A and B are shown apart, each in its own frame.
Chain A
Amino acid sequence: MSRRQIILVAALVLAAGAIPFLVSDYRTFQFTLTLVYAIALLGLNLLTGYNGQISLGHGAFYAIGAYTAAILMDQYGMPYWATLPFAALVCLVAGFLFGLPALRLEGLYLALATFALGVSLPALLKYHHLEKWTGGVQGIVINKPDPPFGLPINPDQWLYLFTLAVAVLMFVLAWNLLRGRIGRAMIAIRDQHIAAEAMGINTAMVKSLAFGVSAMYTGVAGALGAIAIQYVAPDSFNIFVSIVFLVGIVIGGLASISGAIYGALFIQFVPNIADEISRAAPWAIFGVFLLVFVYLMPMGVAGAVRMALARLARKAQNRSQST
């Protein structure tokens, strides 16, 4: 990244930090969820966009992260911020272990295997032997965290800023990972796995670890989501969550870091807009939005932004040459 890009990103982060002081508490809550989804989508994009492994079941890791945080807070009285490393670790291990057998599957078969995971997890959460921890169908209610150090802001504002800080950290780590040796190996496997192996890339290890890291991101997002919504229940993690995540990375832009943010804005706000346009058939409106986006921006929003910037740069260059 050039110096200018770093300044631009820093300015965007600062602007994002100002949001809770400019909008209502409810909007702030919505933006908190947008950040949560951005982390989840970044995780899925690491796996599907960069490494070429399709997952139709990432809602499962989102749920595991959410329940890990909720159970630790509810049963063990752990502070909300301390649950994040645990949610990360549990999902990293779960993702890695799921990624190992998934090595044998490709394309649609992998999609089916992950779909099975996503579709079966809510039932598992209701399983009565686990009820002691999961609260069964009732789920778990958790308390909204108060701002620390007597900061003069309300809990919604604090939660937004906390989530923003975690999101920035997660995005920087992912950017580091992707711009170096491991990022190149992940893309190489996606593009040409036989050649990748011939170049000395341990494709099995990289793919399983990519699965683990991807699940870890989505799990941290799940934990943050649970803290923000203050409630987890099996039915809020149905298969639709997994599918919406996939919609998010495609709309935002596959194999793009910024795409995760565009995708998150889409999956957070477009259903609301659709609902305002037509209370009777919001999903029909959502479908229309989806078609328009896919048709107008076949490379996702990130791809469209990239092309627009390139065109602007070319124009600026032409102008400076002609004068």
Chain B
Amino acid sequence: MIDPIAAGALLRVEGVGVRFGGIVALDGVSFDVEAGRIVGLIGPNGAGKTTLFNCLSRLYECGSGDILFNGVSLLQVPKHGIAALGIGRTFQNLALFRTMTVLDNIMVGHHCRTHSGFFVNSLRLPAVTHEERATLEKAKSLVRFLGLEAVAGARVADLPFGTQKRVELARALAAEPKLLLLDEPASGLNHEEVGDLGTLIKEIRDRFGLTVLLVEHHMSLVMSISDRVVALNFGRKIAEGTPAEVQAHPEVIQAYLGGAH
């Protein structure tokens, strides 16, 4: 499933810099994400974590540096081509298709794995029926996996926040990603839900054989599930290593607790 010879790193971030006017949001950030790992990206508010995510999904242009996925530079790929390469994501403040049902939202996630266009769809040729059936099966299996059966036909906008987060996760998985980007998956969840989420992320990694990069403020979650952690502050990488190493790093402690230590 995962090619171990692929230069080790599935994702290579190389000296990425982003500026908004005079503000430096990211300043020469580099790190690697190895296939099959769960990597946590931490840092105080405004450290540049979401900016980096948005570079990965091409919502922002990098001013400098490069991002390689499986050896291919993402900077040459159009925004809508990222999903087909194998990068799926969830959003910090939810970005679901609000008027659509849970099932339809997840089916949209499979868009990048299907190909039928306007013409064949309007004629509903057998190829379309076939593709639709496969998409529906895929979506239904994810509904079962994430325990969304009871709400599959409901409009997502009518569902509680925690459920909507699971729908977003299912939608991202429907794209069959190799790399899953999770932007604050624990935000807005209660204590119990956060515990379940940690188990779920690991299960997803093992079951679908994918790699996870997550931005998260919830330290105990990040430290308990991550194989490696990258810490950012003011747009720069200040530490990288195992959770224990990063937690003990003086610059990380300083970034989180201020100059007192």
Q: Which residues of A contact B (CB under 8 A)?
A: 173-174, 176-177, 180-185, 187-188, 191-192, 194-203, 209, 213, 255
The segment from B35-43, B75-83, B184-192, B208-216 that touches chain A is B75-83
A191 and B116 within 8 A (CB):
no
Closest to B104 in A: A184
Residue among B84, B97, B124 with the most chain A CB within 10 A? B97
Can you list 23 A-B contacts (CB < 8 A)? A174-B122, A180-B116, A181-B111, A182-B116, A182-B121, A184-B100, A184-B111, A185-B111, A187-B99, A187-B104, A188-B108, A191-B97, A191-B100, A194-B59, A195-B91, A197-B79, A198-B79, A199-B83, A200-B82, A200-B83, A200-B111, A202-B78, A213-B118
Identity of the chain B residue whose Cβ is nearest the Cβ of A186 in the assembled complex: B118
Asked if A195 and B96 make an inter-chain contact with CB atoms under 8 angstroms apart, the answer reads: yes
User: B84 near A200 (CB under 8 angstroms)?
Assistant: yes
Please report the total number of B residues contacting A with Cβ < 8 Å. 37
- On chain B, the residues within 8 Å of A188 by CB distance are 97, 100, 108, 111
B171 touches A209 (CB 8 A): no
Contact A198 to B82, CB < 8 A, known contacts A181-B135, A184-B111: yes
Tell me, rounded to whole Å, the shortest Cβ–Cβ distance linking A303 to chain B: 12
Q: State how many angstroms separate the Cβ of B111 from the closest Cβ of chain A.
A: 5
Instruction: Give me 5 other A-B pairs in contact (C-beta within 8 A), A180-B121, A188-B111 excluded.
Output: A180-B132, A181-B131, A184-B111, A199-B108, A203-B80
CB within 8 Å of A: which of B161-176?
171, 175
**6 smallest beta-carbon distances between A and B, as pairs:** A200-B112, A200-B83, A195-B95, A191-B97, A176-B124, A177-B122
When distances are taken between beta carbons in the complex, the residues of chain B under 8 Å from A184 are 100, 104, 107-108, 111
Q: A197 CA to B111 CA in the complex, in Å?
A: 10
> Would you call B114 and A181 a contact (CB within 8 A)?
yes
Q: Which residue of B82, B107, B108, B175 contacts A196 across the interface (Cβ within 8 Å)?
A: B108
**Cα distance, A255 to B155, chains bound together (Å):** 15
Residues in B whose Cβ lies below 8 Å from that of A192: 95-98
State which of B80, B100, B104 has its C-beta within 8 Å of the C-beta of A200: B80
Contacts of B131 in A (CB 8 A): 181
Docked CA distance A199–B122 (Å) = 22
A198 to B107, CA, bound (A): 14
With a cutoff of 8 Å between Cβ atoms, the chain A residues found around residue B121 in the complex are 176-177, 180-183
Q: Is the Cβ of B95 less than 8 Å from the Cβ of A200?
A: no
A181 contact set on B, CB distance < 8 A: 111, 114, 116, 121, 128, 131-132, 135
A181 and B84 alpha carbons, distance in the complex (Å): 16
A residues within 8 A CB of B123?
Answer: 173, 176
B111 near A198 with CB under 8 A, answer no
A209 to B120, CA, bound (A): 14
- Asked if B109 is at the interface (CB within 8 A of a chain A CB), the reply is yes
Minimum CB–CB distance from A29 to chain B (whole Å) comes to 30
Q: What residue in chain B is nearest A185 (Cβ atoms)?
A: B111
Using known A-B contacts A176-B122, A176-B123, A181-B131, determine if residue A198 contacts B57 with beta carbons closer than 8 Å: yes
Closest-CB distance, A125 to chain B (whole angstroms)? 29
> In the complex, how many angstroms separate the beta carbon of A247 from the nearest chain B beta carbon?
22
| CB <8 Å contact, B128 and A187 | no
Q: In the complex, what's the smallest C-beta–C-beta distance from A106 to chain B, in angstroms?
A: 17
Contacts of A176 in B (CB 8 A): 121-124
For the complex, give the distance between the alpha carbons of A121 and B78 in Å: 36
B171 near A199 with CB under 8 A, answer: yes
The docked-state distance in angstroms from the alpha carbon of A238 to that of B171 is 45
CB of B89 within 8 Å of the partner chain: yes
Chain A residues contacting B59 (CB-CB under 8 Å) are 194, 198
Contact of B89 among A180, A185, A198, A201 (CB under 8 A): A198
